[in-house]
């Protein structure tokens, strides 16, 4: 019988106090990083972004790196983005944290699909911003499921 995989709860509300977070996390089963978006970026576009109809972040991007999926969710093409931060500055809701698209050294990016990395990520993050979590999605507590191993606490604008 295989052991149940650990899950984390990332408190995006608390993490907003740490705009220059020294670590970040991805969710992958392979070693490649190219083209991958971090967990914070995935969570931000999934839960924080208001999916503006005329999305100024998309129009301002000089590299055509942002686009909308059919669901209205914005996604960033990591390989096109030149990290100019224009989208961060123009967003009228302050959705995008200043350091969101910065590239961090490989040894500061933890793979949450890996048990040891997951625990190291918890230790490396400011206290109580990322914790082990055994629960499920719970909108009443502002907790939402991002993937099999990650839940996010966020004030979702349309809930």
Spatial contact of 150 and 6, defined as CB atoms under 8 Å apart: no
Ranges within 94-123 binding ligand SF4 (CB under 6 A): 95-96, 101
- Pick the closer one to ligand SF4 by CB: 41 or 111: 41
50 binds ligand SF4 (CB under 6 A): yes
Among 23, 25, 26, 57, binds ligand SF4 (CB under 6 A): 57
The span from the CA of 15 to the CA of 127, in Å, is 10
One character per residue 67-96, x = contact with ligand SF4 (rule: CB under 6 A): -------x-x----xxxxxxx---x-x-xx
Site size for ligand SF4, by CB under 6 A? 26
Helix (H, G, I), strand (E, B) or coil at 28: coil
User: At residue 140, what are phi and psi to the nearest 5 degrees?
Assistant: -60, -30
43 binds ligand SF4 (CB under 6 A): no
The span from the CA of 159 to the CA of 143, in Å, is 11
- Would you give the end-to-end CA distance of the chain in angstroms? 39
142 binds ligand SF4 (CB under 6 A): no
Among 39, 55, 118, 150, binds ligand SF4 (CB under 6 A): 55
Task: Classify burial at 2, counting beta carbons within 10 Å of its beta carbon; exposed 0-12, middle 13-18, buried 19 or more.
Answer: exposed
Going 87 to 89 to 90 to 92, the CA torsion angle's sign is positive
Among 26, 65, 125, 130, binds ligand SF4 (CB under 6 A): 65
Which residues in this chain contact ligand SF4 in the complex, by CB under 6 A? 49-52, 55-57, 60-61, 63, 65-66, 74, 76, 81-87, 91, 93, 95-96, 101
């Amino acid at each position: 019988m295989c052991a149940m995989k650990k899950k984390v709860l990332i408190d995006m509300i608390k993490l907003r106090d740490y705009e220059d977070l020294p670590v970040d996390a991805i969710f992958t089963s392979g070693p490649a990083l190219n083209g991958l978006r971090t967990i914070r970026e995935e969570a931000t576009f999934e839960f924080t972004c208001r999916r503006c109809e005329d999305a100024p972040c998309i129009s301002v991007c000089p590299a055509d790196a942002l686009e909308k999926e059919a669901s209205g969710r914005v996604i960033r093409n990591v390989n096109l983005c030149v990290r100019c931060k224009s989208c961060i500055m123009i967003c009228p809701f302050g959705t995008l944290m200043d350091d969101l698209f910065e590239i961090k050294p490989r040894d500061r990016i933890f793979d949450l699909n890996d048990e040891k990395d997951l625990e190291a990520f918890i230790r490396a993050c400011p206290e109580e911003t990322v914790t082990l979590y055994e629960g499920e999605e719970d909108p009443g507590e502002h907790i939402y499921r991002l993937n099999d191993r990650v839940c996010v606490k966020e004030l979702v604008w349309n809930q």
